[in-house]
Structure 1
Amino acid sequence: MLYFFGLLAVFVFSATGVLAASKKRVDLVSVLLTGMITALGGGTLRDLLIGQPVFWLVDETYLWVALLGSLITFISEPVMRKRYHWVLYLDGLGIALFAVQAIDKVQGVGYSAVVAVLMSVITAIMGGVMRDVMTGHTTLLSTKELYATPVLVGSICYVLLKETSLAPGLPGTIGFLVVACFRFIAIRFNISYPERFMIGPR
Structure 2
Amino acid sequence: MSGAFAAMQKRFDPFGVLIIAFVTSVGGGTVRDVLLDVPVFWMRHMMMVSAIFGGTLLAFLVKYFEKSFNVTLFIFDSLGLGLFTIIGIQKGLNADLHPIICLTLGTITGCFGGIIRDIFLNRIPLIFRKEIYATACIVGGSLFLLMVKFSNLSYVFVQISTIALIVIIRTLAVKYHWQMPKFYDRSSNSEM
User: Any idea what SS the aligned residue of 2:149 has?
Assistant: coil
Correspondence for 1:189: 176
Is the CA contact 1:88–1:187 (under 8 Å) kept in the aligned structure 2? no
Give ranges in structure 2 of 5+ residues lacking alignment.
187-192
Give the match for residue 167 of structure 1: 153
**Alignment correspondent of 1:5:** none
TM-score, normalised relative to structure 1: 0.85
Q: Which amino acid counterpart does residue 105 of structure 1 have in structure 2?
A: K
Give the CA RMSD over aligned residues: 1.6
Q: Which residue in 2 is equivalent to 1:16?
A: 2
**Could you tell me which amino acid in structure 2 is paired with residue 26 of structure 1?**
F
- The alpha-carbon distance between structure 1 residues 85 and 168, as it changes in their structure 2 partners (threshold 3 A), is closer
CA 1:165–1:25 in structure 2 vs 1: closer, same or farther (change >3 Å)?
closer
2:183 paired residue number? 199
Distance in 2, matches of 1:188 and 1:79, equals: 26
Cα-to-partner distance string for 1:27-81 (whole Å, 9 max, x where unaligned): 1111111111110111011000011111111211111101110121123323344
* 8 A contact 2:87–2:109 mirrored in 1: no
1:49-198 superposed matches below 5 A: 49-169=35-155, 170-193=157-180, 197-198=181-182
Q: How many residue pairs align between the two structures?
A: 185
CA offsets, 1:104-163, max 9 Å, x none?
122112212111100000000111111111122332112121111010000011111111
- State how far apart, in whole Å, the 2-side matches of 1:133 and 1:67 are: 21
Question: Which range is displaced more, 181-190 or 93-102?
Answer: 181-190
SS for the counterpart of 1:30 is helix
What's the counterpart of residue 43 of structure 1? Answer: 29
What runs of 5+ residues in structure 1 fail to find an aligned partner?
1-14
Following TM superposition, by how much is the alpha carbon of 1:200 offset from its aligned partner in structure 2, in angstroms?
4.1
Q: Which residue matches 2:12?
A: 26
CA distance in 2, matches of 1:176, 1:163: 17
Q: Compute the displacement of 1:167 (Å).
A: 2.3
Indicate the percent of aligned positions where both proteins have the same amino acid: 26
Which whole-Å CA distance do the structure 2 matches of 1:121 and 1:190 have between them? 21
